[in-house]
Homo-oligomer: A and B are copies of this chain.
Amino acid sequence: MKEIEKRLNDNGVRPTAMRILIYKYMAEKEVAVALTDIENAFAKADRTTLYRTLKTFEEKGIVHQIDDGTHISKYALCEPGCNCELEQDLHLHFHCNNCEETVCLTEQKIPHINLPDGYIAEDANLIVKGICEKCSG
């Protein structure tokens, strides 16, 4: 578990007990989590703390926010060494219409898109919806 502390330290985030727990929680789950999920998992902690933890993690590049079309922000841990900001590292996200879960498909990069003249791309978000492998099996 010293690894988590190191990861946080390396990214300029002080490894408090709560933050380590949240990191662990996200590492164990294989799907993207919403603030509400964390809230339910840590009923004793205050929502604001959890909220701000996610914001801090996001700022410091520990997690990335995911917009899966549900209008609820989801978060997932970044791969160690990933640069989510850069176009080359943008991967797609899959949202299952059955189990409602959202996962990172880190291998599937977002293809480069040609835009009409005058448009300048800075970021992209591709989300595919359908049936996930667990639900289709």
Contact = CB atoms under 8 A, between A and B. Distances in A.
Interface residues of A, number: 37
**Copies per complex?**
2
A36 to B, nearest CB: 14
Interface string A102-116: 000101101101111
A81 interface: no
Interface string A59-93: 00000000101011100000000000000000010
A5 to B, nearest CB: 33
B105 A118 contact: no
A87 to B, nearest CB: 10
Contacts of A136: 118-120
Contact of A69 (B119, B125, B134): B125
A126 interface: yes
A120 B108 CA distance: 14
Nearest to A69: B67
A50 interface: no
Contacts of A69: 67, 125
A116 B105 contact: yes
Nearest to A96: B119
B118 A137 contact: yes
Given A67-B67, A69-B67, A71-B71, A128 B124 contact: yes
A26 B52 CA distance: 38
